[in-house]
Amino acid sequence: MPPKSLYRGFPAALVLLLPALATADAKPIAFVDRAAEQVFSHEYDGGWEHFVGGGVAVFDCNGDRRPDAFLAGGSNPSKLIVNQTARPGDPIAFSELAILPEDVTGTIGAYPVDIDSDGAMDLVVLRLGDNLILRGDGACGFSRANQAWGIDGGDRWTTAFTATWEDGEAFPTLAFGNYVDRTDPDGPFEACDANMLHRPTGDTYRSPPISLPGHCALSMLFSDWDRRGRADLRVSNDRHYYVRDGQEQLWDMSGSPRLYDDRDGWQRLRIWGMGIASRDITGDGIPEIYLTSMADQKLRVRDPDAAGPRYHDEAYKRGANAQKPYTGGDGRPSAGWHAAFGDIDNDGFDDLFVAKGNVEQMPDMAMDDPNNLLIQRGDGMFVEHGLEAGVASLARSRGAALADFNRDGKLDIIVVNRRANVEILENATPETGKWISVDLSQPAPNRNAVGAWIEIRAGDRHWHREVTIGGGHAGGVAGPEHFGVGDADEVEIRVTWPDGDQTMWMRTRSGQPVRVTRDAGLEVVND
């Protein structure tokens, strides 16, 4: 049963009805918040320049195969929390490490990426002021690497990031999305800053970076959206500040970046864009795009007969628009922030978590705005389970991540909140399907095979997954890809590497982590 505080303001009849509606089509979903059991607390805070942000980066910082996390703090200190969960299935436990460089302040978010392909994950930290590139040492220690790698951190309000490896490059291409230009005396409205694209030359970066016209970016994602073997740059922008002339953007990265337009099939879309989630949920091998916003969320499905990037929206059709609080007591529109796909109950159908919360005190938007846990049914419809699952927080949530923190084969959730403690939600769902996690490795550069596609098949079911860095809201996950596979005892796995080479189908048992390496093929990873 969720804590009583979640029911504040609910009509009594609705409290009784909502759990019944949620469980009518599926088995119960349950989470336990372990935050109060930790030896630390953490809040994202700050003035208007920290109304957005609050991201979390999840990655393994010391090679023990347990996901750790970097928590952005805004005006509060950032935190690096290291996973101390002793055995698979134990309650999630973290410790706090105070070994970040002293200048990791004013943080908005962070993304993990192994820039130099040395096997230790690095961190790109988004800030007010200069962005930090922190080189990891493989033991959860970090040192500033901006100068060594030739990356100018700038002096902007950076709120979005994504990375990919372009053909033949030793280092990744890095894209930084910037919000309002704080130096514009006529701002903040219609004062959106330019975005920055850093393309490498060998093991350093060209200077100055490429400037791309911006419309107040809050999320970016490099993705091979049509499986042509090249990642293009998708940008979601906040209409609150661009007001009139902006829109969502997709940049063709085949040479000098150019925007797709109506001649390519691109349709103008203007929303209060905050986060991007990408996942193939229709089974056609092409990723769908979920965009968070104020008022309603968008589930963009590519038109199958279109040659270019032409999409239509299916959020309402599939029950994923999540436009208002579902707990009653506040009928104003919601504000969606971080979105992430993941199979919470391992039934083989990806579910969707959406972090929500008022920007601060916006009177036209809901104040009591619970996070969504949308469980996908076999018919492609999403059904709200946030209340009965115990994740319907009424805090002002921002960044979040899905990862198997206690290695029991079920995805857990971590949520960073504005002016409220972080949530560490352990998946305690009693009956779930089977699962497999897949880690990729190849020789440098791009050791983690960013841009690869993982395919899994079992019987007549087929899953496709692109390995990306970016999206979400101010934070992301680097690590094994988790697949729920329903009742399949065995699965077959095939990998299309970033350069297009493809493995044979490899058979293995479900219910275990595996690694696929370019040289050695598939191996089971033992604890």
Query: Is a pLDDT exceeding 90 seen at residue 152?
Result: yes
Distance CA 19, CA 36 (A): 25
Of 125, 89, 95, 127, nearest to 110 by C-alpha is 125
Q: Kindly state the helix (H) or strand (E) to which residue 80 belongs, with its residue range.
A: strand 79-83
Q: Closest by alpha carbon to 482, among 434, 412, 435, 514?
A: 435
pLDDT at 4: 31
Residue 473 to residue 396: CA distance in whole angstroms: 14
What integer pLDDT is reported at residue 27 of this predicted model?
A: 73
* Averaged pLDDT for residues 12-20: 36
All residues at 6 or more sequence positions from 241 whose CB lies less than 8 Å from its CB, including other chains:
179, 180, 188, 189, 190, 191, 192, 216
Annotate 134-156 with b (16+ C-beta within 10 A) or e (fewer).
Answer: bbbeeebbbeebbeebbbebbeb
Say how far residue 57 (Cα) sits from the centre of its chain: 9
Residue 142: strand, helix, or coil: strand
| Distance separating alpha carbons of residues 250 and 236, to the nearest angstrom | 9
Q: How many CB atoms lie within 10 A of CB 53?
A: 32
Segment 194-251, tens digit of pLDDT: 999 999 998 899 888 999 999 999 999 999 999 999 999 999 999 999 998 999 999 9
| Preceding peptide of 188 cis, ω within 30° | yes
Does the pLDDT value for residue 184 go beyond 50?
Answer: yes
- Report pLDDT digits (tens) over 435-445: 999 999 999 99
Q: Determine the Cα–Cα distance for residues 297 and 356; give it in Å rounded to an integer.
A: 11
Task: Please tell me the number of Cα atoms within 13 Å of 14 on its side-chain side.
Answer: 13
| 3-state secondary structure at position 489 | coil
Q: Per-residue pLDDT tens for 28-67?
A: 999 999 999 999 999 999 999 999 999 999 999 999 999 9
- Dihedral angle, C-alpha 377, 20, 342, 72, nearest 10 °: 150
Contacts of 429 (CB under 8 A, 6+ apart): 27, 28, 29, 30, 31, 344, 345, 389, 410
Cβ pair 238, 291 in contact under 8 A: no
Residues 132-155 have a mean pLDDT of: 95
Please report the pLDDT score of residue 295 as a whole number.
87
Which pLDDT score is estimated for 26? 58
Average pLDDT of the residues in 166-189: 95
Asked whether the predicted pLDDT for residue 13 surpasses 80, the reply is no
Q: For 379-386, what is the mean pLDDT? A: 97
DSSP code of residue 329: S
pLDDT at 179 over 60: yes
462-468 mean pLDDT: 98
For 256-313, what is each residue's pLDDT tens digit? 999 999 999 999 999 999 999 999 999 999 999 999 999 889 999 999 888 899 999 9
Sequence-distant (6+) residues with CB within 8 A of 409 are 346, 432, 435, 437, 511
Q: Got the DSSP string for 464-497?
A: EEE--EE-BTTB-B-SPEEEEEET-SEEEEEEE-
